[in-house]
Structure 1
Amino acid sequence: MAVKQLSQLNLASYTSNKTFYPSPNAWEDQVFYFLMLDRFSDGKENKYKDNSGNFVSNGVTPLFTGDQNNATRTPEDAKRWRESGVKYLGGNLKGLTSKVGYLKRLGVTAIWISPIFKQVSFQETYHGYGIQDFLEVNPKFGSSEDLKELVQTAHANGIYVILDIILNHSGNIFTYEADNVNYNGTPYQVKGFNDEKGKPSIPFHKTDPNNPRAWPQENDAIWPVEFQDPSLYTQKGSIRNWDGYPEFLEGDFEDLKDIRHGFGGLDDYAASPALKYLAQAYKYWIAYADIDGFRIDTVKHMDKGATRIFASIIHEFAQSIGKEKFFLVGEITGGRSRAFETLEETGLDAALGIDDIPDKLEYLVKGYRNPRDYFSLFRNSLLVQKESHIWFRDKVVTMFDDHDQVRKGQNKARFCADKDASKVVLNALALNALTLGIPCIYYGTEQAFDGHGDSDRYLREAMFGGEFGSFGTKGVHFFNEENYVYQEISKILEIRRQKKALSRGRQYLRSISGDGVNFGLPQIIGNEIRSVVPWSRILSDQEVVMAINTDYYQPREAWVTIDSELHNEGDFLTCIYSTEKQQEGQRVKIEARNGKAVKITVPTAGCVIYA
């Protein structure tokens, strides 16, 4: 059992005489992979490649071979499949450890894991956002030793580990007198802390840390014991106006209980004991397991002063043990201006959840957004008061599929849910990987998962053969390294690794021409765009030119503008990647058109890279 009292934590015992895994030189060089631990792997799969690249033949779960809807053939089966999507399915830390090789061969260099900490026992909080014990791993996922083994295995394979953490709230640890109450600006009376069955049978008063005999049982209330203090919680009921001030800061996140972090302005913020306790708990996980970064949930709902203090504490602690660039990425909703303002004011390293990036990326690839709309997201230097858009390269974690799809309301849908979208999902992955920002792949996208429906569950299919598999399946796993999308994005990510311009370079949407005379940016004609969409990344004197084709049914040809000063007329660019393999190695001649330009052909719904 984990330590139950923060005052008993001796961090020096975890840090002295220990060499920690160093931070990367540049986080923008990394490729993230976000997975929900309960949905990823239980370690029982058969016919997948282990971490050394050898086939496992003693597992019990077969590989998916196209037998879609094997779990939904009758109304009763379909109902059972749907209902299983809101329950624990069985993914765990040992299962994830066994798939580190799968991720490495894909090209992943940083794993972002959904929260792993112990949850309230009376709810199916498989997602991990309802913490009951900040110092213990959820037993359904394994043990703290399993976490340490995972991190060691990842590090041995050159992969960093980012834990998803929560500061804003705890799990559903107490019950109001009036039961379910909404925010009205004033505190409510509380019946008591909840016991392991969800009953408010534990007195709602401060527990004496020095009297273990008076402590609740380990599945009751909240742990460590210092958190059993009513003054640490705002107790103001559930948020209903998600943008109303101060409601979005003080209210409960549904039935998750809001934690009081302190008070004051950005420069004179006074941290509450709760904020200090949280910082101590998360320092422990860095020291114990050698974690490389945190993704901080619901930053919008925290005081900026609290976020700044937490970021300072964590960065200083990490630097003291040799992790010079411990990575803190915040989920900051509300648009770019809010996100980048929050970064500057709090000291977080990067933002996640900038709602316009996923939308414009997805629908540009599908042919329903102007390319300029996506590329301009990285060019508004005035907005962020920076001299160059290059600043964006390590300040944004970008993705298009994710676990809640807030931007789509009640019509949840992975990228591949749309008709024929599987034809161009590789283009979406390529666009994400080869444009500014730190790219993040959401688990299953590399296997073309197509989950869709009216709740989050449909975005959280099991990879490993549970009762709620993708494509309406159960009992089959999806760790298929022969999958076309997996193989091709792996090749693209290897090119990204080799060519620093693709992670650190300046970025330009390029003009195109059909006749080599009249040039202009590709744009929507009517209601859609079916065209070559090219862009460049330039680092020093090296330019890499890329293009996708948003036409699902035929190849497209265009003259593409390139940097005039870096190239000489009569020289050549060489195709180093194409979704049409015979195109690789072919050269295109640089001509004096619109400055300088090359004529390229992009395969049907395809992608090319020239250097």
Structure 2
Amino acid sequence: MRYCALSTTLAAALAWPVQAVEVAPPNWWAGMVSPTVELMIHEPGIAEASVKADYPGVKVLSSVRQDSNNYLFVTLDTEQAKPGVIPLTFTFSDRDPVTVNYQLQTREEGSSQREGFNQTDVIYLITPDRFANGDLSNDSVAGYVDKADRDDKGGRHGGDIQGMIDRLDYISDMGFTQVWTMPLLENAMDAYSYHGYSTTDYYRIDPRFGSNELYREFSQQAEQHGVGVIMDVILNHIGSGHQWMQDPPAEDWINNDGKFVPTSHRREALHDPHGVESDKVAFNDGWFVPTMPDLNQRNPHLAQYLIQNAIWWVEYAGLSGIRVDTYSYSDKAFLSDWTARLMQEYPNLNIVGEEWTVNPLITAYWQAGSQRHDDYESALPSVMDFPLQATLTEALKNSESWSSGLRTLYEILASDFVYGDPYNLVVFADNHDMSRIYSQLDEDPALWDMAMTTVLTMRGIPQVFYGTEILMANPGTEDHGIIRSDFPGGWPDDKINAFTGEGLTDQQVWAQDRIKSMLKLRQQYPQVFAGKLTHYTPDDGVYVYFRHTEHAGDAKVMVVLNKNAESKALPLARFSSMLTGYDNIRRLGESQQPLAQSLTLPASSATVWIIE
């Protein structure tokens, strides 16, 4: 799909005529920390043109062509420029000149100091196509092959941005304070386009989800509900339907000469002191599948394109954060530049990278502030805590022994010293790429409760996958289309409605209430969950940890996991260093009582206690 110098959506909003020439980014802002912007101009024969900017304070620093005659990369210096319309005139030797009116906008006040998601937040992960259908008219759109078919587990089901807007009351009432959606950018693919990870236009929301303006409205309305919006960004690959596959700007734009060569997925090769360069290349430059061409971020113009695209969406949509898909698969040097540039522009933004490994040494490598085996520099604030997720499920499922069970959960947390900031990791029980936690734990409600209680009280920033709060499951299958099933109540003809509770089982209502109660606890004691974690080695199937501030007298939260099949008395003398000076204790959802010598733990339970 083509976009113009002003995207159709922006042009409509500003009442400007649509340009014939494609320009990315479609606009920019005055007063950015970095005053330069590189425009990718796409138009047949544009590489033959010279360019002039006739606007006070704007300089054309460079005009560079690559291998294709249809692209020109023009770098503007806007440091001395005020907001307005910049006429860019392209002069040819064999045809009339072309003028593009490029807008330099005014930034929102305080944009550069926006606050990103942090420990006081809880992230709700949504698959937009499967959450709620708020606009039936865009379920199928002319010009897009992949049509809506709710009976097809891998097809589009019709969920959209309007559906998420309509359910913001539910999201905020539950206590979620951030929404991370799977990608919403255009995926003009023949099939399996619903998941959003095959981008075909980096500057356009897929019309089956809505529009650029509607996404911005979603962000604005979410903010009014006390909810931030996190965008899922894909730097590593595009969809095979992207125009770059027919007309790449440069011969090296796509890895492996634009031909499918599978990635090895051996991320260890990047860190292996005994390894060879060819193994690193096999990991970084390989493609996931033939329909996901792998981008070569070593090309400086592509690198700049991707950096500016992320900044554009943060500024345009008012984002509170970014989640980066398949983080380590992109070029290492590029990732260093990309994170540094984003954090230079938005020092308080949060960005979390997906590095799917259960090895905390590899996970920690990418986080800013971590000690590394080399001199690599990263400005990435956060990483997804896959090591904790894998350990948590195994700790709950395996029997208790000297080397298994809750001890392994304790041990993985005792390894937090490898992280630059373990409190800024994103922690989770499941996500969109793995079995639902209820299925992972063999649909055992007690184990589900232990897992979710741990995630929602653990150090770091919790993330909950939509439907986990009502025990959604995928029994007997690992199919992602089933894992990402429709949220009941999101479609007009649904007989079960999880948004209202209509038709839910008693167990589902219990689970939903349990999540809600813990999220309300977090909101009641934000200073506690922005504070420290102190834990004790597991003993006889019981694991105890505290969340607390560094100030004496502040409330504390005590979490106890009891894996024993029978109730158990927990003597409190062992925890005297955390309890001295406190008089009262109450279990979450119950009345306050004097702090006694011991607590009674129900069998197979996760209990949360507030100490004041």
State the distance in 2 between where 1:497 and 1:602 align.
26
Which residue of structure 1 aligns with residue 28 of structure 2? 10
State the distance in 1 between where 2:168 and 2:26 align.
34
For residues 107-118 of structure 1, the aligned pairs below 5 Å read: 107-118=175-186
1:248 to 258, 283, 287: 283
State the distance in 1 between where 2:232 and 2:453 align.
25
> TM-score, normalising length from structure 1?
0.70
For residues 19-38 of structure 1, the aligned pairs below 5 Å read: 19=109, 23-24=114-115, 27-38=118-129
Are the aligned partners of 2:117 and 2:321 in contact in 1 as well (CA < 8 Å)?
no
- Percentage of identical aligned residues: 20
Which residue of structure 2 aligns with residue 85 of structure 1? 153
State the distance in 2 between where 1:94 and 1:340 align.
37
1:439 to 455, 459, 462: 462
TM-fit CA distance, 1:300: 1.6
Are the aligned partners of 2:233 and 2:324 in contact in 1 as well (CA < 8 Å)?
yes
Which residue of structure 2 aligns with residue 457 of structure 1? 481
For residues 296-335 of structure 1, the aligned pairs below 5 Å read: 296-317=324-345, 319=346, 324-334=347-357, 335=359
| Structure-2 change in CA distance of 1:25 and 1:89 (3 Å) | closer
For the pair 1:493 / 2:519, whether they are aligned, the reply is yes
2:320 to 278, 289, 292: 292
For the pair 1:261 / 2:297, whether they are aligned, the reply is yes
How many residues get paired?
471
Which residue of structure 2 aligns with residue 233 of structure 1? 254
Are the aligned partners of 2:185 and 2:196 in contact in 1 as well (CA < 8 Å)?
yes
State the distance in 1 between where 2:178 and 2:396 align.
25
Are the aligned partners of 2:125 and 2:181 in contact in 1 as well (CA < 8 Å)?
yes
TM-fit CA distance, 1:295: 0.3
| Paired residue type of 2:178 | A
Give SS of 2:353's match. strand
State the distance in 1 between where 2:340 and 2:350 align.
12
Q: Give per-residue Cα distances to partners, 1:254-291, cap 9 Å, x unaligned.
A: 120111111xxxxxxxx521111112222221221111
Give SS of 1:440's match. strand
Q: Give per-residue Cα distances to partners, 1:464-489, cap 9 Å, x unaligned.
A: 4579x9xxx97644324582222222
Q: Give per-residue Cα distances to partners, 1:279-310, cap 9 Å, x unaligned.
A: 22222212211111110111121122111111
For residues 141-156 of structure 1, the aligned pairs below 5 Å read: 141-156=209-224
TM-fit CA distance, 1:193: 6.5
Q: Give per-residue Cα distances to partners, 1:510-557, cap 9 Å, x unaligned.
A: 35xxxxxxxxx325xxxxxxx443211232124421213334x64332
| Structure-2 change in CA distance of 1:549 and 1:313 (3 Å) | same
Are the aligned partners of 1:154 and 1:161 in contact in 2 as well (CA < 8 Å)?
yes
TM-fit CA distance, 1:401: 1.2
1:101 to 157, 169, 172: 169
State the distance in 2 between where 1:238 and 1:413 align.
31
Are the aligned partners of 1:372 and 1:509 in contact in 2 as well (CA < 8 Å)?
no
State the distance in 2 between where 1:44 and 1:32 align.
25
Are the aligned partners of 1:500 and 1:539 in contact in 2 as well (CA < 8 Å)?
no
TM-fit CA distance, 1:576: 4.0
Which residue of structure 1 aligns with residue 431 of structure 2? 402
TM-fit CA distance, 1:27: 0.8
State the distance in 1 between where 2:472 and 2:481 align.
13
Which residue of structure 2 aligns with residue 518 of structure 1? none
| Structure-2 change in CA distance of 1:137 and 1:562 (3 Å) | farther
State the distance in 1 between where 2:363 and 2:159 align.
32
Are the aligned partners of 2:116 and 2:321 in contact in 1 as well (CA < 8 Å)?
no
Unaligned runs of 5+ in 1: 46-79, 175-191, 195-203, 207-227, 263-270, 406-411, 512-520, 524-530, 591-597
Are the aligned partners of 2:441 and 2:447 in contact in 1 as well (CA < 8 Å)?
no
Give SS of 2:252's match. helix
Which residue of structure 2 aligns with residue 358 of structure 1? 389
Runs of 4+ in 1 over 6 A off after TM superposition: 80-83
For residues 342-357 of structure 1, the aligned pairs below 5 Å read: 342-344=366-368, 345-352=377-384, 354-357=385-388
Which residue of structure 1 aligns with residue 609 of structure 2? 609
Are the aligned partners of 2:117 and 2:178 in contact in 1 as well (CA < 8 Å)?
no
Give SS of 1:589's match. coil
Q: Give per-residue Cα distances to partners, 1:81-107, cap 9 Å, x unaligned.
A: 996110011110000011111111111
State the distance in 2 between where 1:362 and 1:28 align.
22
| Structure-2 change in CA distance of 1:560 and 1:362 (3 Å) | farther
State the distance in 2 between where 1:33 and 1:139 align.
23
TM-fit CA distance, 1:161: 0.5
TM-fit CA distance, 1:112: 0.6
| Paired residue type of 1:588 | L
| Paired residue type of 1:392 | P
